[in-house]
Amino acid sequence: NAGVTQTPKFQVLKTGQSMTLQCAQDMNHEYMSWYRQDPGMGLRLIHYSVGAGITDQGEVPNGYNVSRSTTEDFPLRLLSAAPSQTSVYFCASSRIQGAGNTIYFGEGSWLTVV
By the criterion CB under 8 A, which residues form the site for other proteins? 31, 33, 35, 40-45, 48, 50, 58, 90, 92, 94, 96-103, 105-108
Concatenated DSSP letters for 12-67? EE-TT--EEEEEEESS--SEEEEEEEETTTEEEEEEEEEETTEEEE-SS-TTEEE-
Name residue 10's amino acid.
F
- Taking the complex as a whole, how short is the minimal distance between the CB of residue 15 and other proteins, in angstroms? 26
Residue with smaller CB distance to other proteins, 20 or 104 = 104
Residue with smaller CB distance to other proteins, 1 or 100 = 100
- Taking the complex as a whole, how short is the minimal distance between the CB of residue 25 and other proteins, in angstroms? 13
- Taking the complex as a whole, how short is the minimal distance between the CB of residue 87 and other proteins, in angstroms? 14
Residue with smaller CB distance to other proteins, 17 or 104 = 104
Which burial class, exposed, middle or buried, applies to 30 when counting CB atoms under 10 A from its CB (0-12, 13-18, 19+)? middle
Residue with smaller CB distance to other proteins, 2 or 14 = 2
